[in-house]
Amino acid sequence: MKHPFFKNYGPFKIKDLLDDLKLNNIENLSDDLVHDIRDLQTADKEHLTFFHSKKYHSQASKTKASYCITLKNLAHYLPKECKPICVDNVLLIISQITSKFYPDAINDDFDNSVKKIEELNFDNEIIHGHNVLVGENVKIGKNCSIGHNTIIEKNVNIGSDCSIGSNVIIRNTIIENNVAILDGCIIGKKGFGFFPEKNKNFRYPHIGIVIIEDDVEIGCNNTIDRGSLSNTVIGRNTFIDNQVHIAHNVEIGKNCIITGQVGFAGSSKIGNNVKIGGQAGISGHIKIGNNVEIGGGSGVIKNIPDNSKVMGYPAKEIRKFLKENR
């Protein structure tokens, strides 16, 4: 499937990809074409994927990718149909390969295609303020409004009955129906994805997008980063208060309530019907179950099972927290 926001410069021969990176010690490589790079769960037989941490062994064992960049001690988790390509630094190599497929995703340059909304023709009447700029191929549904000084960049898709506030920037994003985005939000910029290598910080390209489902409300001055390889997703009927940060690859479920100044680190997964109090922090790569309640100011550093109520730093079962802090 064609990427909605970034051009894919593939396919490439797997042998050529690795030769370009001076990985000449990989044996028995063929002239197979690799059409794209995907995460473990979404990869298909024409794709390359990566596997760098044992915590993802379950997904690795089920991947349908033909090739996987991984560590030698993790290769045995992969299915026999997936050829491991063992390297010393998985994230560095996968960053370099992603840059070959999607060089345009490395930088977040501003969109030169934007024009004043008055100069564009849409099928539906759009209520808008002053100085609204819209990029090429943007789609906007019925009964939408857009506030002053807002920029909607190329290829963004906005459904019907949506309200976009003033001083908002939206890029690399698909918004469904009946969504409210309040003033000052920045949605779809690249995430804080980098890693140190020999005293230098390397950024990796972010080729994921942001998906905001139906009936969501996003408060003022939120930042929602697009995904790196997978997508950042806000589930249906979730309400988010002001000044919340949502990092790359975060998935927030349906019917959640998230209050002010909560921070989600990258790749955290939040279930349905979750309530999170103000200024709580959610560590990266953890899973919070359904129907969980997290008290304000908590620090969540490990998985939380369904139907839990937690509070404190580190977050613990709320009755235990209250007993310890009488």
Residues labelled as active-site residues: 248
What residue type is assigned to position 305 of the chain?
A: P
Cross-strand pairs, 223: 186, 245
Tell which residue, 281, 235, 276, has the closest CA to residue 259. Answer: 276
Tokens 């920037």 label which residue?
A: 169
Rounded Cα–Cα distance for residues 272 and 263 (Å): 18
Concatenated DSSP letters of 10-49 = --EEHHHHHHHTT-TT--S----EE-EE--TTT--TTEEE
Single out the residue of 193, 169, 185 nearest to residue 217, CA to CA.
Answer: 185
Taking the CB of residue 234, how many other CB atoms lie within 10 A of it?
28
Question: What b/e sequence results for 279-301 when a residue is b if at least 16 CB atoms lie within 10 Å of its CB, and e otherwise?
Answer: ebbbbeebebbbebbbbeebebe
Residue 302 exposed, middle or buried by CB count within 10 Å (0-12, 13-18, 19+): exposed
Distance in angstroms (rounded) separating the CA atoms of residues 211 and 234: 6
Whole-angstrom distance, CA of residue 146 vs CA of residue 66:
45
- CA-CA distance, 39 to 65, in Å (whole number)? 9
What does the alpha-carbon distance between residue 18 and residue 87 come to, in Å, rounded to a whole number?
11
**Would you state the structure tokens that stand for residue 189, as one six-digit string?**
């910029």
Within 10 A of 229 (CB to CB), how many other CB atoms are there?
Answer: 23
Integer Cα distance of 95 and 100 in angstroms: 9
